[in-house]
Amino acid sequence: MDEAELSRRDQALNGVYAPVNRERKVSAALRAYAAMATSADKGAVRDVSKLG
């Protein structure tokens, strides 16, 4: 694939990829982890102080 095709595709997406009609079930455990997790540079560990 040449650079022109890559550029054309990037322009068509406005630089942002978003799947069409993506519906996914997110478990309660994953939602809870997401609410408590620190960023990757801090190890992505749970920090319960973020809850309150």
pLDDT tens-digit readout, 20-48: 888 889 999 999 898 899 999 999 898 98
**Does any domain span residue 12?**
yes
Number of domains comprising the chain: 1
23 falls within a domain: yes
Range of the domain at 33: 3-42
Residue 14 inside a domain? The answer is yes
Residue 15 has pLDDT above 80, yes or no: no
- Residue 13 resides in a domain: yes
Cα angle 24, 20, 5; round to 5: 135
pLDDT band at 52 (very low <50, low <70, confident <90, very high): confident
The structure's pTM equals: 0.47
pLDDT at 39: 92
Rounded Cα distance, 5 and 9, in Å: 6
Q: Is residue 47 part of a domain?
A: no
Residue 11 is assigned to a structural domain of this protein: yes
Environment class of residue 21 by beta-carbon count within 10 Å: exposed (0-12), middle (13-18) or buried (19+)?
exposed
The mean pLDDT of 3-24, rounded to a whole number, is 84
Q: 26 lies in a domain?
A: yes
Q: The tokens of 7 are what? A: 């550029």
> Which element (helix H / strand E) includes 28?
helix 28-36
Give a yes or no: residue 7 inside a domain.
yes
